[in-house]
């Protein structure tokens, strides 16, 4: 147990990645920004960022066969953190402007337009964090920075008592409720941007990076 | 549980240096945008906006470096505007570390730029900046201006904001030219008129002179409030604005 955990921030042509790289570095990891699959497979943790349209992100991800890397890592219990659209593409399907796009399908559910008077949902919001969350340890009452027009409004995964149910954190905007974060064994995801959420976001990333070597 | 009102300091940057007067005693270099950004972050700013007023190509390149350095040190959202006129400009700024890009005159000249940017990067990156003032003979009573409010663009301000939202703008930065520099308070009438017509977030700008000016802007429909001079001169602190908002019953971070 020496040295910092290694993390790859997956580069598949998506927006501002500089902040994600620096924020994860600041959380104590050694970070590489790359689309190289061997590096993405070998790292202790993989961050899948994403901004913009579901369809464009999914296309970019498939172009580097990123969805297969995510699946291979998860089947080996190796941690993956999806952020914003990087969370959305983990679900079965996205519907934007009537266009249906198949996602990675790690979780059932559909990413659809938020039903609120003012969209995008842009700014710092509070969360409903479930009991036992490790990701939000020490920061369950903090606000985090969101910017998105689409979200997962129904969590449809059913589990029985022999499997551990994922921990789902919710947020609410303009009367609409949607998934803000999921903790599911090696697979973690946030709809908000921890890398843009100031001290609270830094704390969350430290919680995640801190879990990597133990995983 | 609801979104907090965002308080956004705005810095005018010329060739990598902050232009307007700064009065923060703790700063080593008051003209350094990165250090000022860090200070605002520490004071609780919810976002930052850089307005690049560089006239030269070299000046703009320097501003790009400042954006990169800021994005590596300050972990709150950063909007950059000023002279952005193409999809390539937006791409460069996002790669440098901006989270959102403000577009003003170029969108007036060529409204399709809004949809081009939104299609490529998502509408959340596009802040449409509108310089609006009162004008007789317009449908809403407000028109769009260019050149810092000196020229009429020949567009109804409310109609333009609504059209931009349809084209894919993610947010409206509403600069009230009549109120700008007065320090008499935000232009509540203008804010209300835009709020009634668009369902994307609206940032109120222009006219703030005291902490108590901020709650009425939110009550008129602003989702966020932006100010430059009063923050830079230390006349009002970010924390005081948040205190005033909180006392008026508005959620703040």
B122/A118 CB distance under 8 A: no
Across the interface, do B71 and A148 touch by the CB < 8 Å criterion? Answer: no
**Residues β-bridged to residue A29:** none
Contact B1 A125 (CB under 8 A): yes
**Residue extents of the structural domains in chain A:** 6-212
CATH, residue B210: 3.20.20.70
Residues of A in contact with B46 (CB under 8 A): 123-124
Mean pLDDT of B11-39: 77
Domain that holds residue B73: 6-247
Backbone angles phi, psi at B116, to 5 degrees: -60, -45
Q: What is the pLDDT of residues B47-100, one digit of tens each?
A: 999 999 887 888 888 889 999 999 988 999 999 999 999 999 999 999 899 999
Q: What is the pLDDT of residue A203?
A: 98
The single residue of A57, A67, A84, A121 carrying the catalytic annotation is: A84
Q: Residue B253 falls within a domain, yes or no? A: no
Give the model's pLDDT for residue B188. 98
Q: Is the pLDDT of residue B25 over 70?
A: no
CATH no. for A6-212 = 3.40.50.880
Per CB-CB distance under 8 Å, the chain A contacts of B221 are none
Q: What is the DSSP track for B3-64?
A: PPPEEEEEEEEETTEE-S----TT-S-TT-HHHHHHHHHHHT-S-EEEEE---SHHHHHHHH
Condensed to tens digits (0 to 9), the pLDDT of residues A30-65 reads 999 999 999 999 999 999 998 888 998 999 999 999
- Are A123 and B122 a contacting pair at CB < 8 A? no
Residue B169 neighbours by CB distance under 10 Å = 25
Residue B169 falls inside a structural domain: yes
Q: Which among B41, B200, B253 has the least Cβ separation from residue A143?
A: B253
Which residues of chain B neighbour A124 with C-beta distances below 8 Å?
3-4, 6, 46, 253
CA dihedral B191, B196, B197, B199 (to 10 degrees): 90
Mean pLDDT of chain B: 92
Q: Given an 8 Å threshold on Cβ–Cβ distance, is B4 in contact with A19?
A: no
User: Is residue B252 in a domain?
Assistant: no
Over A33-56, what HEC string results?
EECCHHHHHHCCEEEECCCCCHHH
Catalytic residue check, A92: no
Q: Is residue B1 predicted with pLDDT exceeding 70?
A: no
Nearest-neighbour CA in chain A from B137: distance (Å): 30
**Residues on chain B touching A117 (C-beta within 8 angstroms):** 199
Give yes or no for A170 touching B (CB within 8 A). Answer: no
Number of domains in chain B: 1
Verify whether the Cβ–Cβ distance B3 to A123 is below 8 Å: yes
């Amino acid at each position: 147990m020496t040295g910092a955990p290694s993390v790859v921030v997956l580069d598949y042509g998506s927006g501002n990645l500089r902040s994600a790289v620096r924020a994860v570095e600041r959380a104590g990891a050694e970070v590489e920004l790359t689309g190289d699959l061997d590096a993405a497979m070998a790292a202790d943790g993989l961050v899948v960022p994403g901004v913009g349209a579901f369809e464009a992100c999914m296309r970019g991800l498939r172009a580097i066969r990123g969805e297969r890397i995510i699946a291979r890592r998860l089947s080996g219990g190796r941690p993956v953190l999806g952020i914003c659209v990087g969370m959305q593409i983990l679900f079965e399907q996205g519907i934007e402007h009537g266009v249906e796009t198949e996602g990675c399908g790690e979780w059932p559910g559909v990413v659809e337009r938020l039903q609120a008077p003012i969209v995008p949902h842009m700014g710092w919001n509070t969360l409903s964090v479930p009991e036992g969350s490790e990701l939000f340890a020490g920061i369950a009452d903090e606000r985090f920075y969101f910017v998105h027009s689409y979200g997962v409004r129904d969590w449809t995964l059913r589990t029985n008592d022999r499997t551990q149910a994922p921990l789902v954190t919710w947020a609410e905007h303009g009367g609409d409720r949607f998934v803000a974060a999921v903790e599911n064994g090696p697979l973690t995801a946030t709809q908000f941007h921890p890398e843009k959420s100031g001290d609270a976001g830094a704390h969350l990333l430290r919680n995640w990076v801190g879990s990597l070597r133990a995983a | 549980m609801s979104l907090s009102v965002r308080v956004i300091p705005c810095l005018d940057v010329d060739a990598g240096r902050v232009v307007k007067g700064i009065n923060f005693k703790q700063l080593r270099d008051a003209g350094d945008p990165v250090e000022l950004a860090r200070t605002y972050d520490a004071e609780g700013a919810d976002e930052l906006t850089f307005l690049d007023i560089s006239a030269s190509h070299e000046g703009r390149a320097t501003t790009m470096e400042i954006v990169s350095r800021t994005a590596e040190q300050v972990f709150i959202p950063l909007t950059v505007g000023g002279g952005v006129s193409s999809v390539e400009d937006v791409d460069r700024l996002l790669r440098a570390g901006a989270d959102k890009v403000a577009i003003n005159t170029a969108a007036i000249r060529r409204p399709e730029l809004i949809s081009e940017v939104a299609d490529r990067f998502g509408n959340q990156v596009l802040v449409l900046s509108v310089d609006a003032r009162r004008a007789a003979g317009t449908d809403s009573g407000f028109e769009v201006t260019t050149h810092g409010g000196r020229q009429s663009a020949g567009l109804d301000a409310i109609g333009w904001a609504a059209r931009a939202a349809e084209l894919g703008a993610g947010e409206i930065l509403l600069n009230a030219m009549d109120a700008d520099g007065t320090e008499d308070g935000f232009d509540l009438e203008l804010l209300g008129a835009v709020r009634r017509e668009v369902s994307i977030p609206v940032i109120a700008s222009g006219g703030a002179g005291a902490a108590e000016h901020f709650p009425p802007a939110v009550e008129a429909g602003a989702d966020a409030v932006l100010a430059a001079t009063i923050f830079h001169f230390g006349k009002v602190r970010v924390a005081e604005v948040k205190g005033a908002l909180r006392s008026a019953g508005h959620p703040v971070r």
